[in-house]
């Protein structure tokens, strides 16, 4: 019976085996894998990122256009009011 028990690995044996298997990949290989994964992910996401950028730029430009329209309208209103006030002011005899 003790032989049958010995065939079942104990926890410390399993843990040691996992640690040995994990160290099979060195740090340079992990770094290269991370860079390759990053490049691949960015390449796949690029169309979506570009779409979001275009959308945000469009919204920002629309906001700027609206602000400029309000400013121009206000300037025209003030210029017309000043011109009308100038035209309606009482004439002084010369």
The answer as to whether 77 is a domain residue is no
Q: Kindly report the length of the chain.
A: 94
More confident residue, 2 or 31: 31
Given this model, what pLDDT does residue 4 score?
53
Two structure tokens written together for 56: 């945000």
pLDDT in tens, 42-80: 999 999 999 999 999 999 999 999 999 999 999 999 999
**Distance (Å, rounded) from C-alpha 46 to C-alpha 43?**
5
Domain with 47 in it: 2-64
**Distance (Å, rounded) from C-alpha 60 to C-alpha 53?**
10
The answer as to whether 25 is a domain residue is yes
Measured over the CA atoms of residue 11, residue 17, residue 20 and residue 24, the dihedral's sign is negative
The answer as to whether 69 is a domain residue is no
**Structural domain count, the chain:** 1
Given this model, what pLDDT does residue 22 score?
57
Given this model, what pLDDT does residue 15 score?
61
The answer as to whether 84 is a domain residue is no
Does pTM top 0.75 for this prediction? no
pLDDT in tens, 3-16: 555 677 666 666 66
CA angle 87, 89, 94 (to 5 degrees): 100
Given this model, what pLDDT does residue 26 score?
83
């Amino acid at each position: 019976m003790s032989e049958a028990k010995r065939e079942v690995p104990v926890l410390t044996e399993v843990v040691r085996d996992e640690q040995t298997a994990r160290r099979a990949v060195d740090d340079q290989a992990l770094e290269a894998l991370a860079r390759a994964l990053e490049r691949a992910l960015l390449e796949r996401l690029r169309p979506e990122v570009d779409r979001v950028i275009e959308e945000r730029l469009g919204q920002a430009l629309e906001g700027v256009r609206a602000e400029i329209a309000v400013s121009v309208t206000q300037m025209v209103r003030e210029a017309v009011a000043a011109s009308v006030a100038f035209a309606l002011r009482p004439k002084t005899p010369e």
